[in-house]
Structure 1
Amino acid sequence: MRFREAMMMEEQDDGRLVASFDRSWWVVNGPNGGIIAALLIRAAQHYLGGDRCVRTATTHFLAAPKEGPVHLEVSVEREGRIASFATVRMTQDNQHIATALIAAAEMEIVSHEWEQRNLPTLPAIDETWMMESNSHDVPLRSRWEQRWGLGVPGVPETSTVPGGYEAGGWVRLSEPEPYDEAVLAAMADCWVPAVMVHSDVAVHTPTLELTVQFRTDPRNIDLRGDDYCAAIFRQLSGREGFIDETGEIWSPDGHLLVLSRQIGVVLPRPDETVGPWEFVRS
């Protein structure tokens, strides 16, 4: 299922939206959190309109959905001169799956701009690594083209924090589509969790909460659907059974597109869900 197909939804007579999940975007126990967040953003935009860029979306994940239809209830909380706010609630078979708080905003006059972060230093796309493993329960991996250039296991020169749990590189949809907030939200949760490749412990890390902040409207810059973006993710703290992850996504010409942060729970996973990690030079 292509990304645009995963985002399809229909409005019912009662105002709710209906979408559907299949295993195309699955990780171990259900659909990837990024695809859920993307669907909630699209639902909010259905009622808020697309004139204003989504600036922030915070999603709490209450339960993993199954394959099949889900319902999306959107409440427009306020539509102001600069910003609009919506709450989106996803349910399946009367079970609460996820809730998102979403704000879309636009400024007519911008008086001052600056960016003091730097585009990550990554190898050229043809000098990166590709991850190969037999991942029977992770169809998500085939939905993205990922070229590793940060935190490659066994290649210490690709790390910025010695021994740090970090991962990233160049990424795009395997079936490219125009960039928008939903694509970027999904991208913010697309990478293999760093703890899974840098630790000898067999774990997976379901997300409890994901916040995605959109720092540049992708429609306002020269960014084609087949362009790779630079994505970096760091999980530098694991405490009391939970990890925090920070992320950045940049356009190839140096525009900061997304800042992300999430809290995940560290759970044991069956060894057979992921084969041996292997990284080969592309």
Structure 2
Amino acid sequence: MKQLTSRSLVEAFALSEIDHRVWEAWVDESWRGWTGPHGGVIAALLIEVARRAGGRELPVRAVDQRFLGRPTAGQFTFRATAHPVGRSAVVVDVEAFQAAGALASASITFGRTIATGVADHAGAPAPDVPAPEHCSAFAMPPELLPVAAHFEIRPATGPLPLSGADDAMMCAWIALRPAMPTDAATLAILADALPPAFFPTLTTPVAVPTVALSMHLHTDLRTPAPQPVLVCTANASTGGGWSVDDIDIWDGGGRMLASARQTRRVLG
């Protein structure tokens, strides 16, 4: 199920610079998730705008995003400000707007790759799961979740969503459809591809919008990472109308690419 790159994130969402440090993009209804446009797509666009605003030559190291309002499908406007940090790092602050006002903000940290005297550590090893070609495809009904059509998901271990299981976790091989390059921006989309991690314990869906997302890159992605990638999500805690998930992503060779944490409101 390995895919060839067919288009970039810029092409997929018609991202263009319309003024100095001001960009526009279009997110159509096919990217609608449980409560609105897919949160990972908004995170991806914030990252790509930040890259164009000040981090072009440096790898993404960390993303810290907050939702400030409820987005809708359609046009988004982005404004960015770059803050150089010495000679090896840049932090770019980006805000996303629609007609209703500010919807999301993020600080994206870019940092140069350098050699040091500290031994490398590759991060947590990937779980031992079947190869993607030995895993059956799974998709939520498109009438329930249109964004599901943009992912090829092959559960590798753990329960399925809405199966009434005991375990609040999922692990699956995931690729984007149509294919896009695996970079920091698309890793944000892939990190948000699976439902909230407690969904396997349910039998009917509830609304669980993302309030905050953080993501940390474990590689500079100089070595390309083909899709599918292995995405595992586990519920860290749920209570009082809030839920926290931890997400890890590895490539097919077992290299850890990114880890993320999402804080969500539970509205059901």
Same-fold call, TM > 0.5? yes
The Cα shift of 1:48 comes to 1.3
Query: Where does residue 132 of structure 2 map in the other structure?
Result: 125
Unaligned 5+ runs, structure 2: 1-6
Q: For 1:227-238, list aligned pairs within 5 A.
A: 227-238=227-238
The Cα shift of 1:222 comes to 4.5
3-12 vs 96-105, greater mean Cα deviation: 3-12
Distance in 2 of aligned mates of 1:55 and 1:35: 18
Q: Percent identity?
A: 27
Paired residue total: 259
* 8 A Cα contact 1:31 1:64, kept in partner: no
* 8 A Cα contact 1:168 1:232, kept in partner: yes
Query: Where does residue 256 of structure 2 map in the other structure?
Result: 256
Distance in 2 of aligned mates of 1:110 and 1:199: 47
The Cα shift of 1:119 comes to 1.1
* 8 A Cα contact 2:169 2:235, kept in partner: yes
Distance in 2 of aligned mates of 1:107 and 1:202: 43
The Cα shift of 1:174 comes to 1.9
Classify 1:239/1:212 alpha carbon distance in 2 versus 1 (closer, same or farther; 3 Å): same
Q: For 1:53-68, list aligned pairs within 5 A.
A: 53-68=59-74
Query: Where does residue 29 of structure 1 map in the other structure?
Result: 35
Classify 1:76/1:101 alpha carbon distance in 2 versus 1 (closer, same or farther; 3 Å): same
Q: Do residues 216 (structure 1) and 222 (structure 2) align?
A: no
Q: TM-score, normalised by structure 1?
A: 0.85
* 8 A Cα contact 1:74 1:88, kept in partner: yes
Distance in 2 of aligned mates of 1:108 and 1:183: 24
| SS of 2:138 mapped into structure 1 | strand
* 8 A Cα contact 2:34 2:209, kept in partner: no
Distance in 2 of aligned mates of 1:129 and 1:204: 27
Distance in 2 of aligned mates of 1:62 and 1:129: 37
The Cα shift of 1:163 comes to 2.8
Q: TM-score, normalised by structure 2?
A: 0.89
The Cα shift of 1:166 comes to 0.3
Q: For 1:82-161, list aligned pairs within 5 A.
A: 82-111=88-117, 112-153=119-160
Distance in 2 of aligned mates of 1:132 and 1:76: 39
1:212-245 alpha-carbon deviations (Å, 9 max, x no partner) = 1111122x22423xx3111100014111111100
Instruction: Give 2:47's match in structure 1, choosing from 41, 49, 61.
Output: 41
Query: Which amino acid is 1:148 matched to?
Result: P
| SS of 2:105 mapped into structure 1 | strand
* 8 A Cα contact 2:159 2:167, kept in partner: no
Q: Do residues 76 (structure 1) and 82 (structure 2) align?
A: yes
Query: Where does residue 199 of structure 2 map in the other structure?
Result: 196
Classify 1:47/1:172 alpha carbon distance in 2 versus 1 (closer, same or farther; 3 Å): same
The Cα shift of 1:18 comes to 1.2
- CA RMSD of superposed structures (Å): 2.2
Query: Which amino acid is 1:232 matched to?
Result: C
